[in-house]
Chain A
Amino acid sequence: MPREIALHGVYLPTVTLLFLIALGVTWGLDRVLAWIGLYRFTWHPALFRICLFVCLYGGMALFVYS
């Protein structure tokens, strides 16, 4: 994947865009997981959610820098 993306003539680092995408995906996943009731089995739900986000974002960023 390219490291920079041109958005209407403005160069943006791809990771910035991925950050926003990862936020959106995490939000959606979070809704689904809460609906299933997974958070009842987690020790620290907030930490779990943050880790989920970090994993997603990190995984996406690996496509850019690897």
Chain B
Amino acid sequence: MNRTSSLPGAEMLRRATLEWARSDGVTWVYILKVMTAAYLAMWLAMRLELPSPSTACVTVFIVMQPQSGHVFAKSFYRLLGSLIGLTVMVTLVALFAQERVLFLLSAALWIGLCTAGAARYRDYRGYACVLAGYTATLIGIPATTLPETAFMEAIWRLLEISVAVGCSTLVSAVILPKTTTAALHNALYLRFGAFAAFLLDGLRRKLERRAFVAGSVRFSSEAVGLEALRAASSFEDPHTRLRSGRLARLNSEFMTLTTRFHALHQLRERLHRQGREDLLAAIQPCVEPLEQLLEPLRNRPLTIEDAARLAERLERLSVETRAAIRTARACLGTVDEETLLDFDSCAELLYRLIDDLHNYSLTHASLAAHRHQREQWGQDFTPKANLLAATVAGIRAGLMILLFGAFWILTAWPSGGMFALNAVAVTSLVSSSPNPPRIALQMAGGAAIASVFGIVVGLFVLPQIDGFTMLVLVTAPVIAFGAFLCTRPRWAGYGPGVLIFFAFASLPANRTLFDPSGLINNYIALVLSMLVSAALIAVILPPNAPWLWRRLERDLRRRVVYAVSAPAQNLVTGFESGTRDLVVQAYGLAARSPEAQESLLRWMFLVLEVGHAVIELRREQDALPALPPYAAEVPWRRAIRAMGRALIRLFVQPSAENRQRALDAVQQAIDSAREAAEPYALHFEQAPVRRVLSYLHFIRASLLNPHSPLPPLPAPEPRHAA
């Protein structure tokens, strides 16, 4: 072989190494980090003579995540939750130490409450609730037999958890950190590129319905995911914390943007279906400049400098579009009222879309500065969870602890305590995942694998060795294997199962005991309780069953009630974020049934359309000048309020009759607003009633849409809105 042919080999080797470092390398670094943190925590716990170093290890396995921001957030809430749980449990032990039944009852109540809380708050606060319940059981159950040790147990546990939390945060922050901030920026930049492509395809009508639906679902779930990233990364990075308000604002503005685009798209699709190509052609000259502006941004990450440039251009474009719309209307000539309304709705939506894009790019560009006035942002992302689902989760957890506790008392099984405890831990840990029975089953599989390793290591290997180094060498393969499983999404449940249960049962306590029967008993209890919990989760009102997504669908419809009647303060962000959060949840839960997902999405589209128009109506009315024709008691404003009530009735109880009534109310509002409308000589932006009219028209069109999920109208449709 000569030199020239060996050179590409070296180059290829280099490239392959880089490729490996990007994909598998990341996994190996993560495994290394998990092991470092776990052994550091274990060594410290042993050095400080804490009674059970295995608790510290388990905590490390629970909080360790590939991205450091998530580790910080989880650690913080883990400490908080444990503190609350311990306080409650020590109180309960002090109250009911002599009465085992009463104690179990009150413990079941507390754990049920915590699990319900975990299902209610769908972020890290939920995690704190899980931990409050879980830690309480961990202390409470052994305390039923030995109440006098409960207080010291609680203190030791808290120390062990603090040691573990400290080690995991230290390791994930310092050793080759993979920051959440980087992930957040990456997601932000890429998202806009994808949205620009989506927008362009939509404007050019190249978007099929399926692609449109997929895009909407994708952007919704990205909005929800971005909020989680933001919450985690403000724990991690001081610079992100300074920008936290702007990031929240950016996400909210993005949601507004997608809703607006969605409304425009639906309107244009409807015009297309009705064969109104002349009208679409009339508006086309106003759309083209926007298309040209966005074309270079298609599928390209939007950097901060790009955003600043984009904002400048959009500002100019906004002025130009206003002029273009005026010209287009003049070209339209004299047409009937309906056509004019359609044109006005379309033009208004287009103009506002450009305005939203401008706002978004301004906020994006403002991320460059440390301090910026756009940081002042009083609106919060509001996750929505179903109260009933949360209650059911709580009742399920409470029942389980009662059942398992009763079994333990009746059989006097030495490992019964662990059996009960583990079941609770599992139910609460899996209650927030989209498919709890599956994850619980996977964790049971993990526990089974752990028991094989654990018994071999515990019976044959641990008695042979001496010293911490040997302990590390002996247990490292199992832990590395478990950590590897954690990084594979398909086996995500197995990884924690292996790690947690191996550490829990097999790692030596600080006064090492050789107790083969106890070890085997414990593993039997662990695997059995995992299986029983998985079965119970699947049987007692499973969260991914139809009842839940139907409840969520109902909650989704009630978002319109929110849009009509919620206080104006957090209205837009509250509506947009809550609606998306509900859809993302329900969509994940209904994964098995495509029809349910389809119906859900149709409701989402309708709710977003109507809700968005209602919110715009409310804003227009709030911004009205204090003149007699705009007073609160003029007929058209009264008619709009009546329409709001009719819409509430319709969305709380969708029936053909209510649909007809809502349509009549909208028609009534349109008629009375038309009487009050400003003359056409006035510009659109100086004519609030005409803008109101365009949104009313939009609502009517949404309600009349034959593809909407509303029950079909009783009589054949009147021709008026076509």
Interface residues of A (CB under 8 A from B): 30-31, 33-35, 37, 39-40, 44-47, 49-50
Q: Are B237 and A47 in contact (CB under 8 A)?
A: no
Given A35-B242, A46-B173, A49-B173, output 5 extra A-B contacts at Cβ < 8 Å: A34-B242, A35-B370, A45-B237, A47-B173, A50-B173
Interface residues of B (CB under 8 A from A): 68, 170, 173-174, 177, 236-239, 241-242, 370
Residue B238 contacts which of A34, A44, A47 (CB distance < 8 angstroms)?
Answer: A34
Q: Which 4 A-B pairs have the closest CB atoms?
A: A34-B238, A46-B173, A47-B174, A37-B370
Residue pairs across A and B with Cβ atoms less than 8 A apart, 12 shown, are A30-B238, A33-B238, A34-B241, A39-B238, A44-B174, A46-B68, A46-B173, A46-B177, A49-B173, A50-B170, A50-B173, A50-B174
Q: Which residue of B lies closest to A37 (CB)?
A: B370
Q: Measured between alpha carbons, how far is A40 from B370 in the docked complex, in Å?
A: 10
Give the chain B neighbours of A45 by CB distance below 8 A.
Answer: 237-238
Give the chain A neighbours of B370 by CB distance below 8 A.
Answer: 35, 37
Q: How far is the CB of B67 from chain A (nearest CB, A)?
A: 13
Give the chain A neighbours of B170 by CB distance below 8 A.
Answer: 50
Residue B239 contacts which of A31, A39, A47, A50 (CB distance < 8 angstroms)?
Answer: A39
Q: How far is the CB of A37 from chain B (nearest CB, A)?
A: 6
Q: Measured between alpha carbons, how far is A34 from B370 in the docked complex, in Å?
A: 9
Give the chain A neighbours of B241 by CB distance below 8 A.
Answer: 34
Q: Which residue of A lies closest to B236 (CB)?
A: A46
Q: Measured between alpha carbons, how far is A30 from B242 in the docked complex, in Å?
A: 12
Majority secondary structure, B binding face: helix
Q: How far is the CB of B243 from chain A (nearest CB, A)?
A: 11
Q: Are B239 and A34 in contact (CB under 8 A)?
A: yes
Give the chain A neighbours of B236 by CB distance below 8 A.
Answer: 46
Q: Measured between alpha carbons, how far is A45 from B239 in the docked complex, in Å?
A: 10
Give the chain B neighbours of A44 by CB distance below 8 A.
Answer: 174, 177
Q: Measured between alpha carbons, how far is A16 from B173 in the docked complex, in Å?
A: 23
Q: Which residue of B lies closest to A38 (CB)?
A: B238
Q: Measured between alpha carbons, how far is A49 from B173 in the docked complex, in Å?
A: 10
Q: How far is the CB of B142 from chain A (nearest CB, A)?
A: 24
Q: Measured between alpha carbons, how far is A59 from B713 in the docked complex, in Å?
A: 78
Q: Measured between alpha carbons, how far is A35 from B238 in the docked complex, in Å?
A: 8
Q: Measured between alpha carbons, how far is A35 from B369 in the docked complex, in Å?
A: 12
Q: Which residue of B lies closest to A46 (CB)?
A: B173
Q: Measured between alpha carbons, how far is A21 from B370 in the docked complex, in Å?
A: 29
Give the chain A neighbours of B237 by CB distance below 8 A.
Answer: 45
Q: How far is the CB of B30 from chain A (nearest CB, A)?
A: 17
Give the chain B neighbours of A37 by CB distance below 8 A.
Answer: 370
Q: How far is the CB of B43 from chain A (nearest CB, A)?
A: 18
Q: How far is the CB of B304 from chain A (nearest CB, A)?
A: 15
Give the chain A neighbours of B239 by CB distance below 8 A.
Answer: 34, 39-40
Q: How far is the CB of B515 from chain A (nearest CB, A)?
A: 34
Q: Which residue of A lies closest to B173 (CB)?
A: A46
Q: How far is the CB of B177 from chain A (nearest CB, A)?
A: 6
Give the chain A neighbours of B242 by CB distance below 8 A.
Answer: 34-35
Q: Which residue of A lies closest to B68 (CB)?
A: A46
Q: Measured between alpha carbons, how far is A37 from B174 in the docked complex, in Å?
A: 20
Q: How far is the CB of A46 from chain B (nearest CB, A)?
A: 4
Give the chain B neighbours of A30 by CB distance below 8 A.
Answer: 238
Q: Measured between alpha carbons, how far is A50 from B237 in the docked complex, in Å?
A: 13
Give the chain A neighbours of B173 by CB distance below 8 A.
Answer: 46-47, 49-50
Give the chain B neighbours of A49 by CB distance below 8 A.
Answer: 173
Give the chain B neighbours of A50 by CB distance below 8 A.
Answer: 170, 173-174
Q: Which residue of A lies closest to B237 (CB)?
A: A45
Give the chain B neighbours of A46 by CB distance below 8 A.
Answer: 68, 173-174, 177, 236
Q: How far is the CB of B652 from chain A (nearest CB, A)?
A: 47
Q: How far is the CB of A12 from chain B (nearest CB, A)?
A: 12
Q: Measured between alpha carbons, how far is A6 from B68 in the docked complex, in Å?
A: 38
Q: How far is the CB of B333 from chain A (nearest CB, A)?
A: 59
Q: How far is the CB of A62 from chain B (nearest CB, A)?
A: 21
Q: Measured between alpha carbons, how far is A39 from B181 in the docked complex, in Å?
A: 14
Give the chain A neighbours of B177 by CB distance below 8 A.
Answer: 44, 46
Q: Measured between alpha carbons, how far is A46 from B238 in the docked complex, in Å?
A: 10
Q: Which residue of B lies closest to A30 (CB)?
A: B238
Q: Which residue of B lies closest to A34 (CB)?
A: B238
Q: Measured between alpha carbons, how far is A33 from B370 in the docked complex, in Å?
A: 12
Q: How far is the CB of A60 from chain B (nearest CB, A)?
A: 17
Choose among B68, B174, B238, B239 the residue with the greatest number of A CB atoms under 10 Å from its CB: B238
Q: Measured between alpha carbons, how far is A37 from B239 in the docked complex, in Å?
A: 8
Q: Measured between alpha carbons, how far is A61 from B173 in the docked complex, in Å?
A: 24
Give the chain A neighbours of B174 by CB distance below 8 A.
Answer: 44, 46-47, 50
Q: Measured between alpha carbons, how far is A49 from B308 in the docked complex, in Å?
A: 32
Q: How far is the CB of B559 from chain A (nearest CB, A)?
A: 37
Q: How far is the CB of A50 from chain B (nearest CB, A)?
A: 6
Q: How far is the CB of A17 from chain B (nearest CB, A)?
A: 15
Q: Measured between alpha carbons, how far is A46 from B239 in the docked complex, in Å?
A: 12
Q: Measured between alpha carbons, how far is A49 from B170 in the docked complex, in Å?
A: 11
Q: How far is the CB of B76 from chain A (nearest CB, A)?
A: 12
Give the chain B neighbours of A33 by CB distance below 8 A.
Answer: 238
Choose among A39, A45, A46, A50 the residue with the greatest number of B CB atoms under 10 Å from its CB: A46
Q: Measured between alpha carbons, how far is A40 from B242 in the docked complex, in Å?
A: 13
Give the chain B neighbours of A47 by CB distance below 8 A.
Answer: 173-174
Q: Measured between alpha carbons, how far is A32 from B638 in the docked complex, in Å?
A: 53
Give the chain B neighbours of A34 by CB distance below 8 A.
Answer: 238-239, 241-242
Q: Measured between alpha carbons, how far is A31 from B68 in the docked complex, in Å?
A: 19
Q: Which residue of A lies closest to B170 (CB)?
A: A50
Q: How far is the CB of B179 from chain A (nearest CB, A)?
A: 8
Q: Measured between alpha carbons, how far is A50 from B171 in the docked complex, in Å?
A: 11
Q: Which residue of B lies closest to A39 (CB)?
A: B238
Q: Measured between alpha carbons, how far is A60 from B193 in the docked complex, in Å?
A: 51
Q: Measured between alpha carbons, how far is A47 from B174 in the docked complex, in Å?
A: 6
Q: Measured between alpha carbons, how far is A40 from B68 in the docked complex, in Å?
A: 19
Q: Which residue of B lies closest to A32 (CB)?
A: B238
Q: Measured between alpha carbons, how far is A45 from B233 in the docked complex, in Å?
A: 14
Q: How far is the CB of B710 from chain A (nearest CB, A)?
A: 51
Q: Which residue of A lies closest to B371 (CB)?
A: A35
Give the chain A neighbours of B238 by CB distance below 8 A.
Answer: 30-31, 33-34, 39, 45
Q: How far is the CB of B368 from chain A (nearest CB, A)?
A: 12
Q: Which residue of B lies closest to A51 (CB)?
A: B174
Q: Which residue of A lies closest to B172 (CB)?
A: A46
Q: Which residue of A lies closest to B238 (CB)?
A: A34
Q: Measured between alpha carbons, how far is A50 from B370 in the docked complex, in Å?
A: 23
Q: Measured between alpha carbons, how far is A33 from B177 in the docked complex, in Å?
A: 21
Q: Measured between alpha carbons, how far is A30 from B237 in the docked complex, in Å?
A: 10
Q: How far is the CB of A1 from chain B (nearest CB, A)?
A: 22
Give the chain B neighbours of A31 by CB distance below 8 A.
Answer: 238
Q: Measured between alpha carbons, how far is A37 from B173 in the docked complex, in Å?
A: 20
Q: How far is the CB of B366 from chain A (nearest CB, A)?
A: 16
Q: Measured between alpha carbons, how far is A45 from B68 in the docked complex, in Å?
A: 13
Choose among B170, B236, B370 the residue with the greatest number of A CB atoms under 10 Å from its CB: B370
Q: Which residue of A lies closest to B72 (CB)?
A: A46
Q: Measured between alpha carbons, how far is A32 from B688 in the docked complex, in Å?
A: 47
Q: Which residue of A lies closest to B177 (CB)?
A: A46
Q: Measured between alpha carbons, how far is A46 from B68 in the docked complex, in Å?
A: 10
Q: How far is the CB of B238 from chain A (nearest CB, A)?
A: 3
